[in-house]
Each structure stands twice: as structure tokens, then as C-alpha cells.
Chains A and B, each alone.
Chain A
């Protein structure tokens, strides 16, 4: 490889590295502020994993709940909304 190209590549790597280090320091500062605010003692990866796990759990429970309510509605020969009304819950979620 010609030395000029190699030097250009190395310079690019060095500038990328410096930029990433600066950006990550700034992101880490923001992260510390927000985790402190919400009193969270978890790594960024843990927060991501927990977020995904919670969404998955919510979807599974919602699907199961709707399925069970439908079975009850079929058994009672009534509307699904009536089952929810009787249980005292809203069928729709507002996220």
C-alpha cells in the first residue's frame, strides 16, 4: 500500500477515535445526570435489556389477557368490551 494512503488512513482513524472519545465523554455525562435523576444504578446495556424485556412482557400479558377475556365473552355470549367493563378495566391502553 502506498505510504500516502496508509498515512491518510491512520489520520482518519486517529480523528475518528478522538471524535468518539469526546462524544462518549459527553454522552456519559448526560447518562450520569439522568441516572442520578431517576435514581438508577444500572449500566446502559442493562437499561436497554430491561426496556426490551418489559415491552415483551407487556405484549405477552396483553395478548394473554385479551385471549382470556375473549373466552369469557364467548362463554357468556356477550361483547368483549362488556367483560372489561365488568372487570373494571379499560380495554385500550394509552402509551
Chain B
């Protein structure tokens, strides 16, 4: 019987681990004769006790679970209940979102608007904010008190920073354009909705 064989295998594995332990217990480079028989036997016993305690704890926990197996079946039933609720909820939300998207001119239009909003955010962050910071530094009393040489050096540093930011901004804008291109002529899918809602699509739809 398969069930009995699992438990018998556990006993066998416990016995064989003791045998293999005998072989591995003496560290490399240490001659067998250097270790007294008692020390080896004690190490073996300690290891055997450790393994038996581990097995004892696992068996006790498993028995607790098996003792209330109806509860385990109930959890499985509830998993299916909540999976169905999630699927129904996602279907409802996909339909209502598709309706809203259709009213606003289609999915491509939604993605375009989102990309534009993202671009505006980037422009504000990288251009306006950084330019304001630079202007503040230039107008500060500390800057005016600097030598011409130091002022020039600081200007160069700020120009460098501005260029770096411009490069980063260009890259981000390119990414947004690519996203826009990728989504042209496409529809909002269940997976896409799951990403937008930050829910685990596979957990809901793959049993």
C-alpha cells in the first residue's frame, strides 16, 4: 500500500541517516584513531536525538492537521469560494472599465492621456524644479560672495547636472513613447486590469 510505504520509508531514511552519519561524523584530516570510540558514539547519539526530535515535531504537527482533516477540506472549499468571488469581481470591473474606456475614446486614448500626465510630471520634476534650484543658488548671497573662479566652477557643475537630468528625462520620455506605441490598437485585457489593480492574476485565474 502506498500510504504504508511512505511511513516505512521515513523509518528507513532515519536508519540509513544514522549509517551515513557514522561515515561523515569524523571531520576531514582527522585520523580515526585520534578520536576515541566514546566521543564518536556520543556525537552519533546527539545527532540521532536531534533528528528524532525533528521527526517527532513534524509528526506531531501532521497528526494535529490530520486529526482535524475536515477543517482542512473546509479551507480548500473556502479557497474555491473566494477564487470564484475574485473572478466574478474581476469580470464586473473589466466590463465597467471597458465601458468607461469606450466612453473616453478607447484604450489607446486612455494610455495616451496617462502617458501625457506622466510626461507632465517628469517635465515638472526635471526641468522646472531643477531650474528653480539653480536659480535659487545663483541668486543667493553665498554665490555672490564667491570668487569668479569658484562661481564659474559651480556654474559648470550645475550645467553638468542639468545635462544629466536632461538625458535621464529624454530616456524616460522615450520609454513612455514606446509604451504608447506598444499599446496602440490594443484592448484592455484581464491581465492588464490585474496589473492596474495590483492583484495577482495567476492566483485568481489559474487553479
Kindly report which residue of chain A lies nearest to residue B11, judged by CB atoms: A28
B31: Cβ under 8 A from any A Cβ: no
As a 0/1 sequence over residues 55 to 66 of chain A, the CB contacts with chain B under 8 angstroms (1 = contact) are 101101110110
**Considering residues B7, B65, B75, B200, which has the most beta carbons from chain A within 10 angstroms of its beta carbon?**
B7
**Known A-B contacts A20-B56, A61-B82, A64-B203; A35 and B66 likewise in contact (beta carbons under 8 Å):** yes
B49: Cβ under 8 A from any A Cβ: yes
Kindly report which residue of chain B lies nearest to residue A30, judged by CB atoms: B63
Across the interface, which residues of B come within 8 angstroms of A34, CB to CB? Answer: 63, 66-67, 69
Kindly report which residue of chain A lies nearest to residue B55, judged by CB atoms: A24
Compute how far the CA of A20 lies from the CA of B197 in the bound complex, rounded to whole angstroms: 52
B81: Cβ under 8 A from any A Cβ: yes
B191: Cβ under 8 A from any A Cβ: no
Residues A48-74 near B (CB distance < 8 A): 48, 51, 54-55, 57-58, 60-62, 64-65, 67-69, 71-72
> Interface of A with B (CB < 8 Å)?
10, 13-14, 16-17, 20-21, 23-24, 27-28, 30-32, 34-36, 38-45, 47-48, 51, 54-55, 57-58, 60-62, 64-65, 67-69, 71-72, 75, 84, 87, 89, 93, 95
